[in-house]
Structure 1
Amino acid sequence: MVKDFNVANGSDASFFAGILVSAFSLAEALTGMFWGGLSDRIGRKPVLLSGCFGTMVSLLLVGFASNFWVALFGRALGGILNGNIGVIQTMVGELVKRPEHEPRAYAVMPFVWSIGTIIGPAIGGLLAKPAESFPSLFCRDGLFGRFPYLLPNLVCSVLLLFSIIFSWLFLQETHPEMQPCNTTNHLDNRSAEHPLLATAGATANAGADLRAESYGTFNHVHLYDDEDWAVRADGSKPEKSSQRQTIFTKRVMMLIIALAIFTYHSMTYDHLLPIFLQDKNAQNIPGVVGGSVLKFPGGVGLSTRTVGLIMSTDGIIALFIQSVIFPVLAYYLGVWKLFMVVTILHPVAYFMVPFLIHLPRSLLFFGIYGCLIVRNILSIIDYPVLLILLKQASPSDSVLGKINGLAASAGAASRTIAPPIAGYLYSTGAEINCTALAWWGSTLAAIFGAVQLLFMERKKHSSAIVQPAAPCHYFPSETQTRNDTVHIIVTDADPGMAAV
């Protein structure tokens, strides 16, 4: 597209194309927190629909662009009006009420993202320049002949229009303070059930282990790091403190930084891999003798067609890991332990890639897919786990949108700077016969992410034992007022702390 705008020759086209890509991420980084905060005030659904509409406008502007600057404006406008990512993360967090369902729910987003990365390039490649690809259907002097990149953008705009219509009709608002209140119908059951946090581990009371859904009426409760429950002797609640709540706590900020670091080195992998696989393989690479294994001249030297097949297969591997492996690991290890494991192991995924050029041809594809599997397992697990931890670290559900908005902005900023830095390191490494320089730069970034774990605290209330001190069943009566008192004992994992 850039070449057709006649603003660059063959060698500069990738630079200007990179500007188009980065314009969206940069604009999104500047406005992500604004859209998240706005969703906290007016609701998630209006911001989500406006974000879809803004993306539609951006697509149409790019499709009708007659020069580079119109396309650049369209991309930047799309980033400014796109408040979707942080809001969608917030809505998923508010829809999921039970912690054991969070891993599978948060895995849905990267799952459908992977599907989009497979379908999206196919739409672009198939429908771009339709007058040349399908001359019997599209005239060179017609609309799609004058605007050769309009058709794929138009198809995506139609898909977004359907998304807006269906969301308007069927998507329910998830903001906790904007829910319809119908307490009477909720209490008019023979047994009113209120969820509390399930117990687990060796300290769980076998007689009241609430992991089994068939036992009792308690299975979940929200316990926040800095929250105190206070009631007067008569059972009434005291007035809330007028002190302003701290939204961006140390834990929240550390998780956002971790997300930005992860997004950076993950984006460098996506940018470098196809370049490295297609880069010419230098002839007569020395063997392992004399330490020459540390010389990395060039890349693997595969054809464009072969690299395309590998990238498509990579999407299938990602789908399998998201839908099968991640929920199982989250169930057995828990969210926090899983986060620590994948963060510590992440540098390995980058460090091993440049050694592919030293493999014999017979083992090359085995090595490539081995690297892809390791990387996918680590990166695909890291993203949803970080989102779950962000939700748990939020001091209140009413500010979750602003927190996710800042996280989306941080991720967009990382996506903006990652490709040019990785590209510069690869070019510099190619000049000194060490293309591993770019990969090891990403390794260093992943090591920073692992070191950051030392400064990150685990959530205080990670588990609790809940035992009913009295039967918790409500039997409605026409004459009796609903002022029953239920006593619940919540014991923290620390034997020295308890609240009644």
Structure 2
Amino acid sequence: MPARMSSIIIEAQRKKTIRCVEESSAKRITGFESWLSRFSKVFGSVTNTSFFLFLALPIQSLFPYLYFMIRDLKVAKEEQDIGFYAGFVGATYFLGRTISAVPWGMFADKYGRKPCIVISILSVIVFNTLFGLSTTYWMAIVTRGLLGLLCGILGPIKAYASEVSRKEHQALGISFVTSSRAIALVIGPSIGGFLAQPARKYPKIFSEESIFGRFPYFLPCLVISVLAVGSCIACIWLPETLHFHDDDKVEAIEELESQVGGSKSTENLLKNWQLMSAIIIFSIFSLHDTAYLEIFSLWAVSSRKFQGLSFTSQDVGTVFAFSGLSVLVYQLTIYPFLSKFGPIKTFRPAAILSILLLTTYPFMSNLHGLELKILINMASVLKNVFAATITIACNILQNTAVTQKQRGAANGISVTMMSTFKAVAPAVAGIIFSWAQKHISGLFLPGNQILFLTINMVSIVGLVLTFKPFLSLPNPMRH
């Protein structure tokens, strides 16, 4: 009997030990899974930033050399017409993106963000390279259009930025995405400004008979495509976020979001005025930003006789790169202010200051030398800081208006409308720029002053729309 009791006690102790080991092992596994989950989110945020970077690089690298590319393609009969043709090259990319934005958003909601991102990066590799090999104006138009059509990364990336971050870190997550635009403003213009026409700029390294001499705008496109290959390889380890949360967590998140922005799970997104008002405002400022980049790059390199600055492509690249670097530093500090004061209280001052700043631009053509370079760089830094603030605020307004399951489609609608405005912006900006150069001595105002006044009118419209009754806000955001 004692022997039997002893064996029972030993067996009980053995089972207890096994149970303790299993529980300890389970805790270790849970801890590992938790660490792995955190690592995936961090990796996702960093990689997401690089993806948005390679979306922005083909756009930002184009502006420093676009004027010279159109001139070398010999499509413009007069020097004043270069801006007209340059505008349509910039517009075709955004036109292609407009056509495909909603289908890409639906694709991302159904099949995941990752496949959409991979296809978009591949399109950058192929069509950006072909654009650099363009020998005719129409080849440049077609390759840019196809690049925009197949580059459906913008909407899914914004949804990804929100999903990979906790709610309290949402502004920071979106700030990472917007930071990549600042990085692109540093790298893109530097690549375009310093690597375009390499045979002329660096004759000791590149000969006129080489491929870079025969295709003077191929090198900057090739560099971007090579960098995009590395980003495409990184997609292998990219975590998918469409099914990132289990059902209970998604339900809890949607319930929390419904308290902030109202439940939109059963409503048509187009009838969600909180979303649509934010998208319209974002689109207007996207039009403004794109028109500004187009006009500044054309105005800066145009001749002094047309009240331009007579800059080289390197000069334009340096201005954009310096302002991009400053914005990158600025965005490391902006998200706490957005979290504390809300998007509207940061949005409106940035828009007002941007309008005041642009009124000074036409008078800079009267400056020369070091004075001009210092002031134009300071103005460019401030302009891009204001633009970054507005962009982050608009992204927050947009993403808080819908649930997680709707973000892909919502961002698809946003990209469609935004790309429509961006497609119009370069074409209209190019037309107005050409008109301004032909009317330097206007009846009321000189052509260059009318040029920047037109851009400012767009900002004024966008600013007015941030007030009632147009903009719809959830209660916590009404300041």
Normalising to structure 1: TM-score of the pair?
Answer: 0.69
Mapped to 2, the partners of 1:122 and 1:430 lie a distance apart of 31
Q: Measured at CA, do residues 462 and 82 of structure 1 come closer, stay the same or move farther in structure 2, by a change above 3 Å?
A: same
- Aligned partner of 2:279 in structure 1 is 256
Q: Name the structure 2 match of 1:245.
A: 267
CA contact (8 A) 1:277 1:299 kept: no
Query: Is this contact kept in 1: 2:104–2:116, CA < 8 A?
Result: yes
Assess, with a 3 A threshold, how the Cα gap between structure 1 residues 111 and 226 changes in structure 2: closer, same or farther: closer
Higher helix residue share: 2
Q: Residues 190-238 of structure 1: CA distance to partner in whole angstroms, max 9, x if unpaired?
A: xxxx8999xxxxxxxxxxxxxxxxxxxxxx776253339xxxxxxxxxx
Residues 26-65 of structure 1 aligned to structure 2 (within 5 Å): 26-65=95-134
- Of the candidates 179, 182, 185, which is equivalent to residue 111 of structure 1? 179
Aligned with 2:358 (options 341, 350, 365): 350
Matches within 5 A, 1:341-420: 341-356=349-364, 368=376, 371-394=379-402, 396-420=403-427
**SS at 2:465 equivalent:** helix
1:318 is aligned to 2:331: no
Instruction: Give the conservation status (yes or no) of the 8 Å contact 1:37–1:399.
Output: no
| Residue number among 221, 227, 231 corresponding to 2:263 in the alignment | 227
**1:160-179 alignment runs, 5 A limit:** 160-167=228-235, 169-175=236-242, 178-179=243-244
Residue 455 of structure 1 aligns to a residue in which SS? coil
Pairing of 1:19-98 with structure 2 (within 5 A): 19-98=88-167
Amino acid at match of 2:343: V
What amino acid does structure 2 have at the position aligned with 1:260?
Answer: S
Instruction: Tell me the distance in 1 between the aligned counterparts of 2:367 and 2:201.
Output: 39
List alignment gaps of at least 5 residues for structure 1: 187-193, 198-219, 229-242, 283-297, 464-492, 494-500
CA-CA distance at 1:316 after TM superposition = 2.6
Distance 1:119 1:255, change over 3 A: same
By how many angstroms is 1:7 displaced?
4.0
Displacement of 1:133? 5.8
> Deviations for 1:145-166, whole angstroms, at most 9, x for unmatched residues?
5545444333322221221111
Distance 1:404 1:354, change over 3 A: same
Kept in 2, the 8 Å contact 1:3–1:9? The answer is: no
Q: Is the contact made by 2:254 and 2:404 (CA closer than 8 Å) also made in structure 1?
A: no
Q: Deviations over 1:353-385 (max 9, x none)?
A: 335467899976665455435423321100011
Cα separation, 2, equivalents of 1:13 and 1:365? 24
C-alpha distance in structure 1 between counterparts of 2:372 and 2:133, whole Å? 44
Match of 2:473 in 1: 459
Alignment deviations for residues 298-355 of structure 1 (CA, whole Å, 9 cap, x no partner): 647465465554443322322232223x224324422232234334554323334335
CA distance in 1, matches of 2:353, 2:216: 45
2:322–2:381 Cα contact (<8 Å) kept: no
Query: How far is the alpha carbon of 1:274 from its aligned partner?
Result: 4.3
Q: Which residue of 2 aligns with 1:17?
A: 86
Q: Note the 1:186-225 alignment, pairs <5 A.
A: 223-225=259-261
CA shift digits 1:82-122 (9 cap, x unpaired):
001111111101112223x2222222223222222332233
CA RMSD in angstroms comes to 3.6
How many residues get paired? 398
Q: 1:38 to 1:431 in 2, by over 3 A?
A: farther
Confirm or deny: 8 A CA contact 1:223 1:461 kept in the other structure: no
Task: Note the alpha carbon deviations across 1:259-296, whole angstroms, 9 max, x for none.
Answer: 111111222322333455566668xxxxxxxxxxxxxx
Distance (Å, rounded) in 1 between the aligned partners of 2:315 and 2:212: 31
| Aligned: 1:156 with 2:224 | yes
Distance 1:438 1:128 in 2: 27
